[in-house]
Amino acid sequence: MFVLDVDDGWPPVAKECLRCIDAECGYQIQEPPLFIKDLSVGDVIEVVWGEDGEVVAWSHVEKSKRSIVWIMVSGDYSVASEIECLKRMRCNVAEFEAYRYFAVDVPAECPVERLDECLDALNREEVSVAFPSFRH
């Protein structure tokens, strides 16, 4: 579990659980983070453990070439077709259903132009998009 800094109610949780595997020099991230900036799938990190066995700090040992896109949806707007577009490009998508919030893991081999095609279809009045770890 990664301890998060909550500022003015965001993120809506105080901790994030990310699947990692042991790597030679630390831990390799295996799924897209929903709330941790500058962290991508495939990154190898070293961690500082807190008293409760939670990650209280981390630093990069090696950065992957993958990017992360965050998508937050307002109201009842549907992003199903855009999410399917991303999945067709072999992006992995994690969803925090209660908040209609998505983290998209974009593989290094995914062309930025194709990513833009999917994201450009979103209604920006209903959807917010952020690039917390963009490496393309």
Specify whether 24 is located in the same domain as 74.
no
Q: Which domain holds residue 21?
A: 2-62
Residue 116, token pair as written in the block: 């833009």
Give me the CATH number covering residue 107. Answer: 3.30.70.260
Q: Of 14, 47, 62, which residue is a domain's last?
A: 62
Q: Of 15, 34, 62, which residue is a domain's last?
A: 62
- How far apart CA 38 and CA 47 sit, in angstroms, is 15
Q: At what angle do helices 80-88 and 112-120 cross, to 10 degrees?
A: 170
Specify whether 128 is located in the same domain as 71.
yes
Specify whether 58 is located in the same domain as 85.
no
Q: Are 89 and 83 in contact (CB under 8 A)?
A: no
The count of structural domains within the chain is 2
Q: Of 62, 77, 109, which residue is a domain's last?
A: 62
Specify whether 72 is located in the same domain as 128.
yes
The SS3 assignment for 117 reads: helix
Q: Which of 64, 75, 74 lies closest to 33 in space, CA to CA?
A: 64
Dihedral over Cα of 116, 78, 35, 46: its sign: negative
Specify whether 79 is located in the same domain as 117.
yes
- pLDDT in tens for each of the 136 residues of the chain? 999 999 999 999 999 999 999 999 999 999 999 999 999 999 999 999 999 999 999 999 999 999 999 999 998 999 999 999 999 999 999 999 989 999 999 999 999 999 999 999 999 999 999 999 999 9
Specify whether 56 is located in the same domain as 114.
no
Specify whether 41 is located in the same domain as 87.
no
> pTM to 2 decimals?
0.92
